[in-house]
């Protein structure tokens, strides 16, 4: 039996127009999962639409500002109608701004928390309600014994484990700590409905954002490389396996309320190199 077969399931992924979110969409699509993407970008990567023919799945893109509750609720309701069900939710939309704590403005503070915390909360809440509605229609009020209804994954960060001298991202780190803080209580609340809730904390990963940093601040990326045990930045492909495992109830059905750290060992040792 293929424990990673997600055929006929539907995943709602925020921030998958590109970057890590797109990588997550790719690996779920390879397992037969239908993909619904929420993002503010008007034109997502062509690779997203290519998943349709490549894996014979349904892919639909929804332009939505996840910081606006009504937009999120209406869009997730539309997705439930378009796809017939919601099984998986990955909250990959996020923003990071390199700004010293002493000069962080209200605008930066509000923007980061609006997207990273409020947006993730709104999308997860809407998807969870859709999952609970489906559970109740099938099982009534009987508590679940098998975690087969759904899986919700928040994207946290290596930054919540260790502070790096390479960046000044206290506001971003606080937002990701808030996301991790949601995992255990929400996992407890949703467990009676067979819904698992976890987070994934990526380490330094070569996304489009990191490539931009590499061209503008090469010393910064060199510092990230020095901090990992393998001396290199991680690849989006190296996050796919962990995400697929988290999404598959057949593979990780007893795993909930936890954070999965994929960091190339960067938090496992005291770094000898400091960016000057």
Catalytic residues: 157, 172, 176
CB atoms within 10 A of CB 118: 18
Angle of CA points 238, 270, 178, to nearest 5°: 60
- Rounded to whole angstroms, the Cα distance separating 177 from 212 reads 25
Question: C-alpha distances in angstroms, 166 versus 140, 169, 225?
Answer: 52, 9, 11
- Rounded to whole angstroms, the Cα distance separating 20 from 180 reads 18
Closest CA to 197 of 211, 209, 179, 214: 179
Sequence-distant (≥ 6) Cβ neighbours of residue 264 within 8 angstroms:
203, 204, 228, 229, 230, 232, 234
């Amino acid at each position: 039996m293929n424990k990673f077969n997600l055929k006929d399931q539907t995943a709602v992924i925020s921030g998958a127009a590109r970057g890590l979110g797109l990588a997550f969409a790719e690996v779920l699509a390879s397992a037969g999962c239908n993909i619904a993407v929420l993002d503010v970008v008007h034109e997502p990567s062509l690779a997203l639409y290519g998943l349709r023919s490549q894996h014979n799945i349904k892919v639909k893109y929804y332009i939505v500002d996840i910081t606006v509750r009504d937009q999120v609720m209406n869009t997730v309701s539309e997705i439930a109608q378009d796809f017939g069900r919601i099984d998986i939710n990955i909250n990959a939309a996020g923003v990071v701004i390199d700004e010293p704590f002493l000069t962080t403005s209200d605008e930066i503070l509000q923007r980061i928390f609006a997207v990273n915390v409020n947006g993730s909360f709104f999308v997860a809440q809407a998807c969870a309600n859709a999952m609970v509605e489906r559970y109740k229609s099938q099982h009534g009020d009987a508590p679940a014994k098998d975690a087969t209804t759904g899986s919700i994954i928040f994207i946290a960060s290596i930054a919540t484990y260790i502070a790096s001298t390479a960046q000044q991202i206290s506001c971003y780190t606080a937002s990701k700590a808030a996301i991790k803080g949601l995992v255990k209580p929400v996992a407890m609340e949703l467990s009676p409905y067979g819904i698992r809730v976890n987070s994934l904390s990526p380490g330094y990963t070569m996304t489009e954002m990191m490539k931009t940093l590499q061209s503008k601040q090469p010393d910064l990326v060199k510092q990230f490389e020095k901090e990992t045990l393998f001396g290199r930045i991680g690849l989006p492909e190296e996050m796919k396996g962990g995400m697929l495992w988290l999404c598959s109830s057949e593979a990780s059905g007893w795993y909930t309320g936890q954070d999965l750290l994929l960091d190339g060992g960067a938090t496992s040792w005291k770094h000898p190199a400091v960016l000057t």
